Every structure is written in C-alpha cells, then in structure tokens.
Amino acid sequence: MKFEECMKELDDITTRLESGKLTLDESVDLYSKGIKLCAECSAKLNEIKGKIALLEESEQGLSEKQIEVE
C-alpha cells in the first residue's frame, strides 16, 4: 500500500473512532488496524529517509551505497 493510501486510511479510522458510533469491539478492531498502518507508514518513512541520506551523500561526491530495509 502506498504511503498516501495508508495516511488516508488512518484518517478515516480516526474519524470513525472519534464519531463515538462504534461498538467496543469495532473500536478495538479499528484501533488495532490503525496501529498496524502506523507501523507501515513509519517503516516507509524510514526507508525514504535512508534513500534521501544516500542521495545527499551522492551529491557530496561520496559513493552511493545499497540500502537494506529490515
């Protein structure tokens, strides 16, 4: 899933949770899904951060390295 799609889904989950119209089970399920999406977004941001750092190093005349994503 693309970063923007994750953020949109997180926004939708937040709106639904804040509505107060969900059952407790629905709220817990959505909260759990939101936590997983947050982790996915964080991983994507860390990956991009690594790529940007490599590009900056490359711009400074240093050799470009292969990054490994955990």
pLDDT in tens, 9-26: 999 999 999 999 999 999
pLDDT of residue 54: 80
Q: Which residue has the tokens 């509505």?
A: 19
Q: Tens digit of pLDDT for each residue in 25-67?
A: 999 999 999 999 999 999 999 999 888 888 877 766 655 555 5
How many Å apart are CA 51 and CA 15, to the nearest integer?
A: 32
pLDDT of residue 56: 76
How many Å apart are CA 4 and CA 26, to the nearest integer?
A: 24
pLDDT of residue 14: 97
Q: What are the CA-CA distances from residue 32 to residues 13, 26, 46, 55, 68 (Å)?
A: 10, 10, 21, 35, 28
pLDDT of residue 52: 86
